[in-house]
Structure 1
Amino acid sequence: MTVAFKHKVVAMFDFARARRTMVDCQVRTFDVTDRALLSVLEDIPREHFVPEDRKVLAFSDQHLVVSHNIEHGRFLLAPLIFARLVQALELVEGARVLDVGAATGYGSAVLAQLGANVTALESDEAIAERARELAAEFGQGRINVVAGPLAAGYKADAPYDAIIINGAFETAPTALIAQLADNGKLVGIDFDSGAPKAVLIQRSGLATGSRTLFDAPAPLLEEFRAPAKFVF
């Protein structure tokens, strides 16, 4: 496909209709019932957060790679998995949220338009810069994009009422849990057992509890990979 033809295809594509289809055929059918969340998902132009040559794939039911700048790339979670994770946080207006592995900032934009004050954490400065550009356009003035190691979180804006990890982790996100406010919630994909499942971890004082939400295949975030085990 030539470059000119690619641009013609993108120009002809009905993105608004694709967003409605994504919400109606993927998200709603996966037990997402939060009306505010459904409305935001339909309004935010997800296609702006992916590379030009992947715009028509922005609404597919798959994890979508948006950058190859870092090892194993950075991606947007499949819409239905992302939406279920956000719904589980039960956000209220003004909630302080840490968006870990924010990539180009689509999830941060959704959280901000739901009324959250978001710290978008990305480990690659080039991706973070793109997230800043998009946050200025779609973030409602509620997004602070920062660059740094994902597993370390971002203490400067802690404590957080909610934390979302955009991918799977093999090692416990201990540093992130420590940055939760009392009764704060963390959601992500636990890959420790080898069978990835979405989990919700909640802090209560010095104690934490967790529960499984649903099966959720997702790419492993390199920063949360367990050390290799030596076999003798």
Structure 2
Amino acid sequence: MKDTFKHQGMRQQLVETLITKGIKDEAVLKAIGKIPRHLFMDSGFIDHAYVDKAFPIAADQTISQPYTVAFQSELLQVKPGDKVLEIGTGSGYQCAVLIELGAKVYSIERQQELFKKTSKFLPKIGYRAKKLIFGDGYKGLPEEAPFDSIIVTAGAPFVPKPLLSQLAINGRLVIPVGDDVQVMTLFIRKGPKEFEKHELGEFRFVPLLEDKN
């Protein structure tokens, strides 16, 4: 578990790539420049860790493409101290980015194998979420609501109502909606029943799994 000068150099190149693709948020770029993404991947993929691509991890899931992580993080407009709910902890990489941005992160993971692995791994490399939960992301986390922002890191066929209801006023929900291809969608809560909706281009995600039990 080393982070070498070579890795740091590759990260800076990745940051340059993200800038050319339109990512502007300095805090997001700084977080991506700092977090050792290669540690989140199986060692066989180390050479690919700083290429702007998604890669497979355990339980048929993927670690998202850095551009996607940066794009979603930028949309959230995280301020230090914000309460953020993440649906789909996965490898923990997006969670680490949010922590680096100063968020208090509550993260839910549906896959037991990933949940166990990531909840041990994140603190080991210095990233502590407020809470990592094994459970159904469709339900959100009502007992900790409201949240300043909510991020969904898997493709959702529809927008789960509980997530909208758990946003604070002016809170932001960033969710990729759709079946085969997803449209990145931003909801901003303007009032108890009012939401402003923005659609921001097509992405591809692994599907958000609903609790079948």
Distance across 2 between alignment mates of 1:195 and 1:53? 28
Distance across 2 between alignment mates of 1:160 and 1:138? 26
Q: CA deviation at 1:126?
A: 2.4
> Aligned AA for 1:201?
F
2:50 pairs, out of 34, 59, 70, with 59
> Aligned AA for 1:186?
L
Q: Kindly tell me: are residues 171 and 139 of structure 1, through their superposed partners in 2, closer, same or farther at Cα, counting changes over 3 Å? A: farther
> Aligned AA for 1:100?
I
Q: CA deviation at 1:36?
A: 1.3
Q: Deviations for 1:97-138, whole angstroms, at most 9, x for unmatched residues? A: 011111121111110111100011101222112222232134
Distance across 1 between alignment mates of 2:196 and 2:120? 37
In the comparison of the two structures, how many residue pairs are matched?
209
Q: Deviations for 1:39-97, whole angstroms, at most 9, x for unmatched residues? A: 110110011111222222222222222112xxxx2222111111011101111110000
Contact 1:202–1:209, Cα closer than 8 Å, also in 2: yes
Q: Pairwise mapping of residues 1-232 of structure 1 onto structure 2 (< 5 A)?
A: 14-25=6-17, 27-68=18-59, 73-138=60-125, 140-191=127-178, 195-204=181-190, 205-223=192-210
Q: TM-score w.r.t. structure 1 length? A: 0.82
Contact 1:63–1:218, Cα closer than 8 Å, also in 2: no
Identity value in percent: 25
> Aligned AA for 2:199?
T
Q: CA deviation at 1:13?
A: 9.7
- Any idea what SS the aligned residue of 1:33 has? coil
Distance across 2 between alignment mates of 1:37 and 1:213? 18
Q: Kindly tell me: are residues 58 and 223 of structure 1, through their superposed partners in 2, closer, same or farther at Cα, counting changes over 3 Å? A: farther
Unaligned runs of 5+ in 2: none
Contact 2:75–2:186, Cα closer than 8 Å, also in 1: yes
Contact 1:135–1:143, Cα closer than 8 Å, also in 2: no
Q: TM-score w.r.t. structure 2 length? A: 0.89
> Aligned AA for 2:69?
F
Contact 2:3–2:36, Cα closer than 8 Å, also in 1: no
Q: Kindly tell me: are residues 143 and 17 of structure 1, through their superposed partners in 2, closer, same or farther at Cα, counting changes over 3 Å? A: farther
Unaligned runs of 5+ in 1: 1-9, 225-232
